[in-house]
Amino acid sequence: MRLRRKRRVYRCLLKSRELSIVRDRTKTIQPDDILLVSTVRNEKIRLPYFLRYYRKLGINHFLFIDNDSDDGTPEYLSAQPDVSLWTTSHSYKRATFGVDWVNYLLRRYAHGHWVLTVDPDEFFVYPFCDTRPIRALTDWLDNTGVRSFGAMLIDVYPKGPLTEEPYREGQDPLEIASWFDSGNYTITRNPIYGNLWIQGGPRCRVFFGDNPGKAPALNKIPLVRWNRRYTYVSSTHALLPRGLNLVYDDNGGEKSSGVLLHAKLIDTFPAKAKEELTRAQHYGASAEYKAYARHLTDAPTFWCEWSEKYINWRQLEILGLMSKGNWA
């Protein structure tokens, strides 16, 4: 594992040569700032609300990697006062699906900081997030000696067809996609890294019903008190050292955990899926996007009689999808 970690560090340093700085505001980062890192491509329509959401939570500085967008994403981001931006036209796939680029920024700029690593369609929900800023969570984690915080990815979707209500730039996606699966999840443990492997939900039902083992992973560890010795090894599903992956208690207790509300399933999804299938830059020869392409032609509806309408984090805790643990 130590050798794997060193190889990851070497890869990120090598792949850092593929990144070109567009706007560097990292000198404004203060020692106690909470950071956010994200890799984006053609996501301008999502970014106004994304930034507004995370600024409200208490993120102090954003580090973005733009992978060759042509929709105005880099221009929009470079104009934001709390954003530092890098761009690259190199292969997302050959950069371990962007992980090498992310690991470099984390190593270079996030050492000693709490940092949230998320996609532009992921919205972090944690205990008491409606009344307490993210710094209240990170202060509590510091006081209890916790270095990493787990979150289950929960897909949200509309009640009708995806294209029934178009998404408007800057809109809260939960206004049009507020339903989710409260059950239909499976959990196993990864024998190599020790992290829980969670699958299921609406994408499993609709796209992988005949082969649920191929459904996307829903386990993530997005919030970490970063150290330059750390590396992500598979998106934000797993880290090295392995101890960072033990974010759930399996001895009868409960560790605090959160959720990432995943607003992928809106009207922009079919075109995005088609684009990504053509680019062929995703894991497993883009098998996930091939499954999307096969079924999206039928205009599927994700809502079913067991769907739940999202209310707040307390609802998710009651359903057993997250926990406040002993944080009161």
DSSP assignments along 4-59, one per residue: HHHHHHHHHHHHGGG-EEEE--GGG--TT--EEEEEESS-TTTHHHHHHHHHHHT-
Average pLDDT of the chain is 94
Query: pLDDT tens digit string along 282-324?
Result: 655 567 888 888 877 778 899 999 999 999 999 999 999 999 9
> Which CATH number do you get for residue 7?
3.90.550
pLDDT per residue over 247-274, tens digit each? 997 665 689 999 999 999 999 998 888 8
* Nearest Cα to Cα of residue 67 among 49, 48, 46, 85: 85
Q: Look up the domain containing 289 and give its range.
A: 2-318
The answer to whether position 208 is within a domain reads: yes
Residue 323 is assigned to a structural domain of this protein: no
**Residue 281 predicted with pLDDT over 70:** no
Query: Does some domain include residue 154?
Result: yes
Report whether 113 contacts 34 (CB < 8 A). yes
Which contiguous run of DSSP H or E holds residue 73? helix 73-78
- The two tokens of residue 30 are 């203060």
Tokens 């009708």 found at: 160
**pLDDT score, position 126:** 98
Residue 325, in any domain of the structure = no
Q: How far is 83 from 78, CA to CA, in rounded Å?
A: 7
Q: State pLDDT tens for residues 154-209.
A: 999 999 999 899 999 999 999 999 999 999 999 999 999 999 999 999 999 999 98
Q: Does a structural domain hold residue 135?
A: yes
pLDDT number for residue 250: 67
**Is 326 among the domain residues?**
no
224: pLDDT strictly greater than 90:
yes
DSSP summary character for residue 216: P
Task: Give the count of domains, the chain.
Answer: 1
Amino acid at 105: L
Q: Is residue 96 part of a domain?
A: yes
**Cα–Cα distances in angstroms (integers) from residue 272 to residues 142, 196, 265, in the given order:** 39, 29, 10
> pLDDT, tens digit, for every residue of 118-164?
999 999 999 999 999 999 999 999 999 999 999 999 999 999 999 89
**Residue 328 domain-assigned?**
no
In this predicted structure, what is the pLDDT of residue 282?
61
